[in-house]
């Protein structure tokens, strides 16, 4: 299996040709996003679901070398409020699969400026996963996931920071593992798509600029803290910043031409 | 009233000093985000809430000159699936205030690299709103909101595109208005905060680079589409790109020093 099966839950209905269901696209988008948004229902008297920004990374504890095109689980870390932890634990205690959550990752690659506001859009890539969140209980899996998540922010950072974590740090860290139930992605690239009657109207075409403003996330030079005693920015960090800057710009520019 | 009152729903519990409740901070964050994430409960047999990336902008139709520090409503546009529209309409038809939703806007300003992985963080700004979504029914308010949303992407774009919309465009456009029930923001800035025992350990301090990698959204030069007939990039667009690039970089760099 290398893709999520389509169901009522995950099928992209509007502009369906933009929908993608393969593991590689969806998992890759989650792994490239510094932040994912996680929605869950609360147990207050209020009717609203809530959203937390968290760090998310796809991985497989059983087969840590599994590629993006394999079935993976989503490991979540970040400002794990006591609420999402408590609700996940309570769900497991009730014998359920975990807390039902929705995880999304979104990248904006360009502002698509058409002749008419109606056809304005973004070039974007977004992924959505639905699944059941459980707190990771085993110490071994937790340590593995902490390394996975840390290295998802900056590759090789775990090996180049003070590790292993202390017992207190391990206890204070909470990781959620989301067993994926459904997933999909939606992508838009290219130039604006305008109506023929606007393209034929000289007063419109001669007055309205149409095209794309590409946009991407850029990283500046690393800034040492006052406590830092390492004279040079280490190679792994320098390389990460340089590579990401090139890659992100490249994606945004290529999206215009697709 | 210039801030949201604190309740169980919106109080920032973890690291509470990072919490903010004033209208200006929260509304400003929504308005600066090209994309917001909107969560709502579905009516399928599945237990998962779902999330849509949408365009969101705070505003007041009754007092369109109201500032960010005023009570405002959130206007949503984008890939409004038939589902969120239908659910909002159904809620109104049942005599309810609308569909309960959660709207979030998140900006990452820097990668905070501490000595220990445990103290790694992001400099970030995130806003969260809870409220009731209703489809905008009045033609006048809808036209106003379409202009608000278009100009939130690129200022003055509405005036510089082909307007007004055709009757078909008006009919095909759906705008949701969210009446805000609660809101809060959470912000982190500055350098890493490490434990004293790590800072005193020379083998740690001399080997682990500590500091911040600032990050921000950058826009490239506007790329005309093959249908474009306007020779020069118009002033309002050039100015927008230049100003945003300076502002975004400035925010990320200033956050390190705070």
Instruction: Determine the pLDDT at residue A79.
Output: 58
Query: Is A95 inside a domain boundary?
Result: yes
Q: How many C-beta atoms surround the C-beta of residue A215 within 10 A? A: 26
- pLDDT band, very low/low/confident/very high, at B80 (cuts 50, 70, 90): low
Q: Does B150 touch chain A (CB under 8 A)?
A: yes
Q: Is the pLDDT of residue B16 over 90?
A: no
Query: Is B3 inside a domain boundary?
Result: no
- Tell me the sheet residues that pair with A132: A100, A179
How far is residue B179 CA from its own chain's centroid?
16
Give the DSSP H or E segment for B196.
helix B196-199
ipTM, two decimals, is 0.95
Q: Show residues of chain B in contact with A192, CB under 8 Å.
A: 225, 227
Instruction: Determine the pLDDT at residue B79.
Output: 58
Instruction: Determine the pLDDT at residue B258.
Output: 86
Query: Is A96 inside a domain boundary?
Result: yes
Q: Which of B183, B187, B147 is nearest to B165 (CA)?
A: B147
Distance from the Cα of B204 to chain A's closest Cα (Å) equals: 6
Give the DSSP H or E segment for B112.
strand B99-113
Terminal-to-terminal C-alpha distance of chain B: 28
pLDDT by position in tens, chain A (length 258):
899 988 888 887 777 788 899 999 999 999 999 999 999 998 878 899 999 999 999 999 999 999 999 999 999 996 556 789 889 999 999 999 999 999 999 999 999 999 999 999 999 999 999 999 999 999 999 999 999 999 999 999 999 999 999 999 998 889 999 999 999 999 999 999 999 999 999 999 999 999 999 999 999 999 999 999 999 999 999 999 999 999 999 999 999 998
Dihedral sign from CA coordinates of A16, A18, A23, A29: negative
Q: Does A5 touch chain B (CB under 8 A)?
A: no
Range in A212-221, B3-12, B153-162, B213-222 with the lowest mean pLDDT:
B3-12
The DSSP result for A160-173, as a single string, is GSS-SPPHHHHHH-
Cβ-contact B19, B86 below 8 angstroms: no
Burial class (CB in 10 A: 0-12, 13-18, 19+), A24: middle
B218: containing domain? 16-257
- pLDDT band, very low/low/confident/very high, at B78 (cuts 50, 70, 90): low
Query: Is B160 inside a domain boundary?
Result: yes
Residues 6+ apart with CB under 8 A from B73: B58, B59, B60, B61, B131, B177, B178, B179, B180
Q: Which of B95, B106, B99 is nearest to B130 (CA)?
A: B99
Across the interface, whether the CB atoms of A34 and B111 are under 8 A apart is answered yes
Percent of chain B scored above 90 by pLDDT?
86
Q: Is the pLDDT of residue B83 over 80?
A: yes
How many domains are there within chain B? Answer: 1
Instruction: Determine the pLDDT at residue A16.
Output: 76
| Entry pTM | 0.95
pLDDT (tens digit, 9 = 90+) per residue, B228-245?
999 999 999 999 999 999
Across the interface, whether the CB atoms of B9 and A48 are under 8 A apart is answered yes
Q: Is the pLDDT of residue B82 over 80?
A: no
Across the interface, whether the CB atoms of B165 and A46 are under 8 A apart is answered no
CATH number, domain at B203?
A: 2.30.110.10
Distance from the Cα of B241 to chain A's closest Cα (Å) equals: 8
What is the interface size between A and B, counted as CB pairs within 8 Å? Answer: 315
- Tell me the sheet residues that pair with A78: A54
Instruction: Choose among B122, B220, B234: nearest Cβ to A34.
Output: B122
Closest chain A residue to the Cα of B153, Cα to Cα: A111
Query: Is B67 inside a domain boundary?
Result: yes
Across the interface, whether the CB atoms of B217 and A220 are under 8 A apart is answered no
Residue A98 zone, left/alpha/beta (φ > 0; ψ -120 to 50; rest): left
Residues 6+ apart with CB under 8 A from B132: B91, B96, B97, B98, B99, B100, B101, B178, B179, B181
Query: Is B4 inside a domain boundary?
Result: no
Q: How far apart are CA B148 and CA B146, in angstroms?
A: 5
Query: Is A129 inside a domain boundary?
Result: yes
Distance from the Cα of A51 to chain B's closest Cα (Å) equals: 7
Residue B165 φ then ψ, to 5°: -65, 155
Query: Is B26 inside a domain boundary?
Result: yes
């Amino acid at each position: 299996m290398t893709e999520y099966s389509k169901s009522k839950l995950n099928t992209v209905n509007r502009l369906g040709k933009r929908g993608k269901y393969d593991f590689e696209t969806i998992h890759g988008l989650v792994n490239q996003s510094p932040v994912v948004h996680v929605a869950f229902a609360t147990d207050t008297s209020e009717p609203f679901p809530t959203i937390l920004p968290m760090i998310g990374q796809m991985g497989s504890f059983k087969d840590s070398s599994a590629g993006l095109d394999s079935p993976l689980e989503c490991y979540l870390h970040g400002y794990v409020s006591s609420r999402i932890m408590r609700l996940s634990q309570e769900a497991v205690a009730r014998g359920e699969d975990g807390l039902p959550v929705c995880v999304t990752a979104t990248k904006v690659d360009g502002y698509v400026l058409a002749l008419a506001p109606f056809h304005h859009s973004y070039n974007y890539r977004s992924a959505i996963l639905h699944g059941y969140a459980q707190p990771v209980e085993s110490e071994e899996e937790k340590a593995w996931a902490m390394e996975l998540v840390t290295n998802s922010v900056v590759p090789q950072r775990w090996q180049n920071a003070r590790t292993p974590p202390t017992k207190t740090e391990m206890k204070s860290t909470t990781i959620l593992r989301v067993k994926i139930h459904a997933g999909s992605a939606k992508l838009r690239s290219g130039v604006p798509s305008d109506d023929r009657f606007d393209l034929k109207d000289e007063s419109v075409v001669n007055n309205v600029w149409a095209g794309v403003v590409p946009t991407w996330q850029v990283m500046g030079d690393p800034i040492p803290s006052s406590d830092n005693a390492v004279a040079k920015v280490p190679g792994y960090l320098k390389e990460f910043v340089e590579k990401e800057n090139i890659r992100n710009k490249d994606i945004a520019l290529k999206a215009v031409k697709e």
